[in-house]
Structure 1
Amino acid sequence: MTRTLLATSLSLICLFSQATESVATPIAAAGVSKSSFATNPIVYFAITDRFYNGNPANDQSYGRKPDGAKEIGTFHGGDLAGLTVKLKEGYFRNLGVNAIWITAPYEQIRGWVQGGKEEFKHYAYHGYFALDYTVLDKNMGTPDELREFVDTAHAQGIRVLFDIVMNHPGYLDIETAHQLNIPVLWKGGYEQYTLKDYHGWIDYNADRKQWAEWWGGDWVRAGLNGYTAAGSSDLTMQLAYLPDFKTEQAKAVGLPAFLKKKADTRAVALPNATVRDYLVTWLTNWVRDYGVDGFRVDTAKHVEMASWQALKQAGNAALAEWKAKNPQKKIDDAPFWMVGEVFPHAVERTAYFDNGFDSLINFDLQDRKLDDPLELDRLYGDYARKLAAGSSEGKAFDVLSYLSSHDTRLYKRDQLITAGTALLLAPGGVQIFYGDETARPDGPASSGDPQQSTRSSMNWASPNTTVLAHWQKLGQFRARHPALARGVHRKLGDEPYAFSRIHGDDRVVAAPFAKGEVSIPVAHVYKDGQIVRDAYSGTSAKVEGGMVKLLAQGSVLLEAQ
């Protein structure tokens, strides 16, 4: 989220110191069993609002409306019910996905703030402007719809991950201030404010008693009367002028004033609780109540390590409690899982892995040259060696590599066959950003916030079925083989480029860009006379003289038959 928030801050001058059928067959084993999530994470990241609209009745909750223009920052209608529709169609299963990461579904600020350089109405469709951590945002759906989504995913062996934020809540927008009676608007402001004069209707110099009706100075840093000013370090700054939670302080706090009055909140006063205690409790209650399997943690470097340790411990306890109460719904007995965003972290083992994190987002892959076999082999070898070394002695260490991101850019749309191959054969965990598998086009953006273009609505009406079929084949192959994520990498040949990965009894050979009649050396992987299957073409061949000869159809993915 970091880059987007920095772009958004250009306009936030406030004083907050401010439908296609699947084209591949479902996953079928070819003499091997599927690998576990822990050894081989294949995570699909969906911005829920932009994915699929399963319940149009919730599209304009809290009075939210389209802006009548490019709809850059409005809610588009996607919801939890839509995710369930696609689960039931087998969409995620056919991609080999074993976890779905969704944007934070808890309640967001109800209105909008200025986006870009005052160019668009920026609603919290992305889940990064939290208002109430204890209730679902009505645009996302109902508790029953969340439960159905999680249960449906679990029945398919697919975990559910929430995107969460502990660094900051959302801005105070005019609509929220009006609806919750937070007395910091100038008289007539709610009736008259526009995109151009937005901040002029908020009294940023209101006295401390008025601003205490919001989060209050005990909870956050902000450039307001009665609030502590922000610091200059990563841990005390206001990212893009967002109020900064005081998660590091040992002081016990009460509920924020606005939550005491909010009719539908589930927040209750906790005895002798710090800001950290409240946030950890609120977030892990979703785990305890619904069986959420893990968190993708936003802006992790802006929160102290002790908070992440506390969140992981509470998440483990909450998930174990849910599984004990719901043994028929759980996938397995695996502990709670956390992956963090620490921009610009790459493939290296740092202190985050000793403080709650199982994995971190890998910002390295997107900028690599993925169509050059020589460079790709160097990258694969480097990743595999670092992951093996960092995971020695049973220590947690993994990365989640991606091609496209909501915070950076979409990978070139005409290169998604080659780049998708490189991603789905990479060591470590992988993340599919919604629409990379269908060549979803860029959407509208603003000059002040270009990352908004990465968040267009899913192209269900016009998916690139060729790209989708390719990603499905690679994804299903990966799902069966932990060797791709955890195995020893070894280059086998240049013409075509081929490599092996071996992890325990799991052995695979891949020739990512092979076409036509090819001979692939496999002597140290498979024995002469052994029959192997090319999972890409569906054909089988016998190993003769340490070689496999076959007709390649763009990639070769060999597995024991």
Structure 2
Amino acid sequence: MSKLRTLSLLASALLALSTLAGCPQFPAQSNNDGGPDAGNVDAGPQETRECKAIVLFNGGESAQKVTISGEFNDWDETATPLERHQGAWRTELELSPGHYGYKFVVDGVYEGEPPPDQYTKWVGQFENRALIVPNCNVPSWKVVESRVSASGLVTATLKFQSAASGKLIDPISVRVTVGNVSVEPELTASTGTLKISYQAPEHGKYTIKARAADTDGVLAENSPLWLPLWWEATEFSWQDSIMYLIFTDRFRDSDGTSPVPPVQDVPQISNYMGGDFKGITDALEDGYFDKMGVNLLWLSPINENTDIGHRGSDPNNKYTGYHGYWTVDALRAETRYGDADADGDARLHELVRAAQKRGVRVMFDLVLNHVHEDHQYCDERPDWCALTCTCGEAGCAWEGPGGRPLDCQFAPYLPDLNYRNHDILRRVVDDVLLLMKKFDVDSIRIDAAKHMDHIIMRTIRLRLNELEAMGATPFYVVGETYVGDDGHDLIMDYVADYELHGQFDFPLLGPIRHVFGGDGSFKHLEARTALSEQKYHSTLKWHSPFLGNHDIPRFVSVSQGNVGHPFGGTPDLMGEGPQNEINQWNIINRMSMGFAFLLTIPGIPLIYYGDEVGLAGGPDPDNRRMMPWEWNANQRELLERVRTLGKARRAIRPLRHGSRQELWIDDDFYVYARDAGSGDVAIVAMNKGGEQREVMVTIPAGLQLTGKTLNSVNSTRQVTVAEGQIRVTLDSWEYAVFYGN
């Protein structure tokens, strides 16, 4: 395509080529397989954007007439007919840049809901297709190809597409970086072709950014071009991840100082406590996460929050925005997460670069359901922040009959964003992409997914899909839909190739806690695990199981039945133990076996900061205590067990990618296999009973383990497959992960 103003919108399940901000067109080639370098790619002649939109409808084979009814023709279903063209229906439109809602009308009948895998726009009470017309008077970037070879050679061919004026690229304006290093591209100004080549010095992330203007000084609309790329020793997939949730303010204080003092008249546990970005960077550089096998850091919301204390769920106490969910700025990092020597933005850049250098991905927690009343959006557009009703009040239930899940406010000072207002949608989506580009992150968590219209999550995902189509390393988008044990269907309502990759597995949380923290049966856990596998089906690998998170009392406190109130009363049994004597075996055994299950089942497991050392806590905010960094014997024992399990998951492929098969089960003894095929199998065994057990376990022939000896990665035990069986012996509250390759 040499006329790249052209817009194809297919009625079938095809992704629209345009985006809300005029994202670059898809590449002719894109891979990381170490193939030919950019110098061998013919980028073709100069390309000029054309000021017309071509609309295609691929349905209606038997239709006699197809027209368009939309905002651009005042919804006149007769004003814009399509003509048959090469098996489809087609028309050309001359429109000003903008987003236009429209529907196809086939033989006088309006189509129904628009395809969910295409951009849409709400107009009044109806969701429509979105015809997105970019500005042809502004140049744009196109990625022809991009690669990272096995030896770390980063290459790309870019095309500067001229505006309709035909003005060429200005060579003086060109700026290109690869992994924050300035690179001089090979430029052919007459064709607008840039060829980039850079030899990476070590494994890590090498994002390409490019900026340029034409000879009239008009900057390309998607400058800087953002093309995230990684060079890694082994190919990465998101299923290779162990996720770790960090509450920045509660994780580590790097220097004992804060750029801003705590908020007055707010209790310490609900106030800022001094954790900062440099503290996380220091933990990275100390190898803390490497020792657990952690390679995906979920940061609590990083945006600037209000400095005002508010009443919260406890009417007798105030809270601050230490948690990050009361945002006032879409693009600026929290000032308090900086330190005496650098601001929040600078320290966050350092953190992300330090993580990427170690092969660790960073996930931003996006608060999109609401903003704080002092947010920049409310200042600029007060109508965007109009008050509705507070969730939970009479006539304003969170959900269910009479509920208002999409527009109720979490608190009177947290205006709810209405994404059926297209101006809000465009601004927020653009800001999300700008934030990801600014800090060069690979993953996002969508908070409160069920409280927002699908359009916001679908639009973000489609934008990221387009970046991947340009050659960007794949992203991961995970959602939070807080449900009970029977909430699988609601979770899956938001999971698709065009929306969320997966969600946190809340339906499995209760069974996990009941079995490992209480007296629940392994039979029940197996049934619930199998139900998740059935409900999530092919998307199972994208979902995230967990033992605990920031919204519920800590696992250790629930397991001991000593949960207090949000502002105290919950003892820290692990932290208060003796320095050199282990006296909390009940906690250690229960938590470590819970981790053994979590880290050996399918999905992307989540560790909540502090759970690895048995940090105690009641309801929010008590479940967000400061992370301890000096550990006693109890804490060290649990931490070492979690580290062993985490490193085993990272090292043993079937634990990450294998199918799961139950082999033996009763209420207190559980054995299952993770099978990656061709005899690459791990076997997990657990005994939560009160005495030693010996069990003969049948090994299916399909696992191809006949005659093999498998060794436990966490003990000296081993099993040998003989006559189709293994003999598994485990002490009370002992687990073993057996592997033979």
Superposition TM-score, scaled by structure 2 size: 0.54
Aligned residues: 443
**1:357 pairs with 2:500:** yes
State the distance in 2 between where 1:341 and 1:370 align.
23
**1:240 pairs with 2:405:** no
Q: In the alignment, which of 46, 49, 63 is matched to residue 246 of structure 2? A: 46
Q: Deviations over 1:146-205 (max 9, x none)?
A: 222222222333211111111111144xxx9xxx9xxxxxxxxxxxxxxxxxxxxxxxxx
- Give the drift of 1:522: 5.8
Change (3 A) 1:43 1:550: same
**1:370 pairs with 2:370:** no
In the alignment, which residue of structure 2 is the partner of 1:402? 546
Q: In the alignment, which of 596, 618, 623 is matched to residue 421 of structure 1? A: 596
CA contact (8 A) 1:496 1:520 kept: no
**1:95 pairs with 2:240:** no
In the alignment, which residue of structure 1 is the partner of 2:647? 476
In the alignment, which residue of structure 1 is the partner of 2:697? 521
Letter in 1 for 2:249: D
In the alignment, which residue of structure 2 is the partner of 1:3? none
CA contact (8 A) 2:556 2:615 kept: no
- Give the drift of 1:481: 4.0
SS in 1 for 2:683: strand
CA contact (8 A) 1:114 1:120 kept: yes
CA contact (8 A) 1:54 1:78 kept: yes
In the alignment, which residue of structure 1 is the partner of 2:613? 438
Change (3 A) 1:117 1:490: closer
- Give the drift of 1:540: 5.1
1 or 2 for the larger relative contact order (CA 8 Å, sep ≥6)? 1
**1:221 pairs with 2:393:** no
In the alignment, which residue of structure 2 is the partner of 1:490? 662
Q: Deviations over 1:92-133 (max 9, x none)?
A: 122222311111111111232234545334111111000001
Change (3 A) 1:101 1:538: farther
In the alignment, which residue of structure 1 is the partner of 2:463? 314
In the alignment, which residue of structure 2 is the partner of 1:411? 555
In the alignment, which residue of structure 1 is the partner of 2:480? 341
Identical counterparts, % of pairs: 23
Superposition TM-score, scaled by structure 1 size: 0.70
Change (3 A) 1:542 1:373: farther
State the distance in 2 between where 1:221 and 1:476 align.
49
In the alignment, which residue of structure 1 is the partner of 2:392? none
CA contact (8 A) 1:376 1:422 kept: no
SS in 2 for 1:286: helix
CA contact (8 A) 1:66 1:75 kept: yes
In the alignment, which residue of structure 1 is the partner of 2:624? 455
- Give the drift of 1:213: 7.4
CA contact (8 A) 1:483 1:501 kept: yes
In the alignment, which residue of structure 1 is the partner of 2:529? 383
In the alignment, which residue of structure 2 is the partner of 1:140? 337
State the distance in 2 between where 1:52 and 1:430 align.
23
State the distance in 1 between where 2:686 and 2:325 align.
37
Q: Deviations over 1:223-261 (max 9, x none)?
A: 69xxxxx986211221222201122113xxxxxxxxxxx
Letter in 1 for 2:598: L
State the distance in 2 between where 1:69 and 1:168 align.
23
In the alignment, which residue of structure 1 is the partner of 2:96? none
CA contact (8 A) 1:101 1:163 kept: yes
Which has the larger Rg?
2
State the distance in 2 between where 1:465 and 1:35 align.
33
Change (3 A) 1:550 1:419: closer
**1:110 pairs with 2:307:** yes
Q: In the alignment, which of 309, 317, 321 is matched to residue 124 of structure 1? A: 321
Change (3 A) 1:247 1:527: closer
Q: Deviations over 1:413-450 (max 9, x none)?
A: 4342333333333333321111111011227xxxxxx4
Q: In the alignment, which of 292, 296, 310 is matched to residue 445 of structure 2? A: 296
Change (3 A) 1:213 1:238: closer
State the distance in 1 between where 2:687 and 2:380 align.
55
CA contact (8 A) 1:353 1:397 kept: no
Change (3 A) 1:152 1:316: farther
SS in 2 for 1:491: strand
Q: Higher mean Cα deviation, 396-405 or 338-347?
A: 396-405
- Give the drift of 1:517: 8.0
SS in 2 for 1:532: strand
State the distance in 2 between where 1:310 and 1:340 align.
14
State the distance in 2 between where 1:528 and 1:77 align.
56
State the distance in 2 between where 1:301 and 1:245 align.
13
In the alignment, which residue of structure 2 is the partner of 1:152? 354
Gapped runs of 5+ residues in structure 2? 1-232, 339-343, 390-394, 397-402, 558-586
CA contact (8 A) 1:36 1:482 kept: no
SS in 2 for 1:154: helix
Letter in 2 for 1:477: A
State the distance in 2 between where 1:97 and 1:385 align.
27
Letter in 2 for 1:461: E
**Which structure: greater helix fraction?**
1
Change (3 A) 1:491 1:290: same
**Which structure: greater strand fraction?**
2
Gapped runs of 5+ residues in structure 1? 1-32, 181-211, 225-229, 251-273, 325-332, 444-449
In the alignment, which residue of structure 1 is the partner of 2:686? 512
CA contact (8 A) 1:384 1:427 kept: no
State the distance in 2 between where 1:247 and 1:481 align.
43
SS in 1 for 2:363: strand
- Give the drift of 1:541: 5.3
In the alignment, which residue of structure 2 is the partner of 1:557? 737
CA contact (8 A) 1:49 1:126 kept: yes
